[in-house]
Structure 1
Amino acid sequence: MARIQIPLLAVDGGGTKCLAVFAEADRSLLGTGRAGSCNYQGIGEAAAKQEVIKAIRAAMQEVCQRKGIVAGQAEWEVACAVFGLAGLDTGRDREIIQQMVAAALSELSIQVNDLIVENDGFAALLGATKGGAGILVIAGTGSIAYGINGAGTTARAGGWGHRVGDEGSGYWIGKQAVQEVLRAADGRSGVTQLTGLLLTHLGLDHVEALFNWAYSPDFSVEKTADLSPLVSLAAEAGDIAAVRILQKASEELALAAQSVITKLALGEVPFTMILQGGVLQKHDLLRGMVVEQIKSIAPKVQIDMENHEPIDGVIAKGLAYLEKRAQAQ
């Protein structure tokens, strides 16, 4: 039986997709595989494990094709495997995800000499900063802020999920929009353009139907997040309720960033702040509000709007670990 020895297995697994790559020490890729969401908090541990397996197995097949080896007829040894996975927020999460990863590797019969498991947000941060000091603020369906300083110390704020957190996210903004429509219908606030925009978008005839939708099987976090562009549209037209929502969202995102800045003592030193996620990438008004607030507390910040690939951070972390280990030997 052939023996395949590879320096690095890198896996980036989020709420939308799972990407697995095998790489050489010079960063050249040997195999790539993709699968769906592997956030166990959203789809369950068993389903998440299967998506991880699917992505890695596809990458393994590509490696075998390159090497001219029949898939399933090789022994696999990986020097270092790094997993950046969504849903790793607490100590309990780490236990569950590490067990899930170990089970996936066992099922695939891959021997891993050194295993590193991190939150996917930290992987994205490392990919964006290339090891330098920086803060990553993500506002997509959910929201979170990560940071790293020059000493390598890391910190985070937010990211507690849609039920109890994710302030400033697409879901949070969409939920606020629904609430504003209901408040207006009650007469607890003024008339808002959001009423017509939301009803049209959802194909509903009246506000009561919006209430029914919110408690129906059709409701979802993703569909609620899809309402957030309507808030930006209304705000740009001067709608008071929409502007109020975006202002509050910007304050929450800036507060998360400020918390990380304070923890890492970055307020008076140069650092990069990376803004990622659909909300910050596409909503110009909201992004401007966030940037203005951050610059008021961290005047030396540099804003980076490039869409960095999280897998690059996972690979960088694994290769840095291998290099450090080699130097120690």
Structure 2
Amino acid sequence: MSAKKIPFLAVDGGGTKSLCYFFDMHGQIRGQGRSGSCNYQGVGKEAAVRELIHAIRNALEDGKLVGNGEVGETELETDCAALGIAGLDTEYDRRIILALVEEALQYLRIRAKRLIIENDGFAALLGATNGQPGILMIAGTGSIVYGVNDQGVVARAGGWGHRVGDEGSGYWIGKQAIIHILKTMDGRVAPNKLAEHILPYLDLKDPEDLFNWTYNSSYSVEKVAELSSLVSQAHTQGDQVAKSIMIQAAEQLFTCAKAVIERINLYRQPFQIILQGGVLQNNAFVREYVTNQFNTFAPSGQIENKNKEPIYGMMALALDHYQKFHDG
């Protein structure tokens, strides 16, 4: 008995949520599903597979692409599956994630004639620029910059995670604030308003409590990233230390963008600039500072107020790969 044909499959597997679409040749969505994070670096391999299965199963059921109770029981076939998965930064990551994806598809009895796996930031770039020349700068909990030129050459900078990178991100800003509060206690930094904003938010009494908090189970990347909005509040009240942290954040972000622009010669042509993530969307000072840097260094770039979901980039990638294979 031949396998049941299903439409194309696209997945945006982010660090917070996963989104799955089944769609046809015309880009019409036939079924969609959501689940939690499938970033194996954050949730572990078993949980990553589980969430990926959950998102795909939900999409199959939403589109009634299989009958009741048939998910994982009926063999399915798709012409192309394109997945953008968080945590894919090295070839080592690629091998692990490929195995996780294959495990999920095998569990659901889905056979993909063509399987494409990319970093979720690359998916976001394609979704935001629609394949046209552009820069995508993301500064949320983490940070990364991607770029693509008119030849389709892609480059990235940053995005190496909170332990060794993510400069300019919400986490980085929050971490700098904590460092400066402790330095203030030592007398190494001039008096500032950071402690009076951050300590009450964390329900702490003094900088020593803050030190203890950073080394206990209450500490998390997400919680530290939340502190970035308090740094912004301190800045609006005239705090110069808070201002210096945000200037450094903006400069770090633009350094990544400059490196990408130079590597792919993007400044030689008109290109789009898409700014995404909570820091760039909600912190007007950082956004304006970065925008001014772009205007000075690369005036041919145009800031676009787009926020197209990354999954549309994976849909375009799946269709493009299928068309090339089919025409060939």
TM-score, normalised with respect to structure 1: 0.96
Question: 142-151 vs 228-237, which deviates more?
Answer: 228-237
CA contact (8 A) 2:53 2:104 kept: yes
| Residue equivalent to 2:215 | 215
Match of 1:23 in 2: 23
SS of the residue 1:163 aligns to: coil
Shift of 1:266: 1.0
Equivalent residue number for residue 286 of structure 1: 286
**Other structure's SS at 1:218 match:** coil
* 1:46, distance to aligned residue in structure 2 (A): 1.5
Map of 1:61 onto structure 2: 61
CA deviation digits over 1:151-184, x for unaligned, max 9?
0000000000000000000000000001111111
Residue 75 (structure 1) aligns with:
75
Which residue in the other structure is 2:197 paired with?
197
Contact 2:74–2:109 (CA under 8 A) maintained in structure 1? no
Alpha-carbon distance in structure 1 between the residues aligned to 2:193 and 2:268: 42
Instruction: Name 1:298's counterpart in structure 2.
Output: 298
RMSD between aligned residues: 1.4
Structure 2: segments with no counterpart, 5+ residues: none
How far the C-alpha of 1:101 sits from its partner, in A, is 0.6
**Quick check: 1:147–1:155 contact (8 Å CA) kept in 2?**
yes
TM-score, reference length from structure 2: 0.97
Q: Structure 2 vs 1, CA of residues 4 and 30 (structure 1 numbering), >3 Å: closer, same or farther?
A: farther
> After superposition, what is the alpha-carbon deviation per residue over 1:251-310, rounded to whole angstroms, capped at 9, x for unaligned?
100000001000110123210011000010110001111111122110111012322111
Instruction: Assess if the C-alpha contact under 8 Å between 2:78 and 2:113 holds in 1.
Output: yes
- Could you tell me how far 1:102 is from its partner in structure 2? 0.8
Deviates more, 1:247-256 or 1:229-238: 229-238
Q: How does 1:1-329 map to 2 (within 5 A)?
A: 3-63=3-63, 65=64, 71-72=70-71, 74-328=74-328
Q: Which amino acid in structure 2 is aligned with residue 317 of structure 1?
A: L
CA distance in 2, matches of 1:28, 1:280: 31
Residue 6 of structure 1 and its aligned partner are, at CA, apart by 2.2
Q: Distance in 2 between matches of 1:4 and 1:222?
A: 42
Q: Helix, strand or coil for the counterpart of 2:266? A: coil
SS for the counterpart of 2:217 is: coil
Contact 1:18 1:34 (C-alpha < 8 Å) held by counterparts: yes
Alpha-carbon distance change, 70 to 54 in structure 1, aligned in 2, over 3 angstroms: closer
Cα gap change, 1:43/1:60 in structure 2, threshold over 3 Å: closer, same or farther?
same
- Counterpart secondary structure, 2:230: helix
Structure 1: distance between partners of 2:185 and 2:69 = 65
> Is the Cα contact below 8 Å between 2:6 and 2:65 reproduced in 1?
no
**Offset of residue 69 of structure 1:** 6.0
- Report the Cα distance in structure 2 between the residues aligned to 1:130 and 1:307, rounded to whole angstroms: 11
**Mapped partners of 2:58, 2:195: distance in 1:** 46
Q: Check the 8 A contact 1:276/1:305 in 2, yes or no.
A: no
CA distance in 1, matches of 2:90, 2:146: 15
Identity of aligned residues (%): 51
Q: How many residues align?
A: 327
> 1:66: Cα distance to partner?
5.8
Q: What is the CA-CA distance between 1:324 and the residue it aligns to?
A: 1.9
1:10 touches 1:315 (CA, 8 Å); kept in 2? Answer: yes
Any idea what the Cα deviations from partners look like across 1:202-234, whole Å, max 9, x if unmatched?
111111111111111100000000000011111
CA–CA distance in 1 between the matches of 2:74 and 2:62?
13
Post-superposition shift, 1:148? Answer: 0.5
Contact 1:61 1:71 in 2 (8 A): no
d(CA) in 2 for partners of 1:297 and 1:165? 24
Unaligned runs of 5+ in 1: none
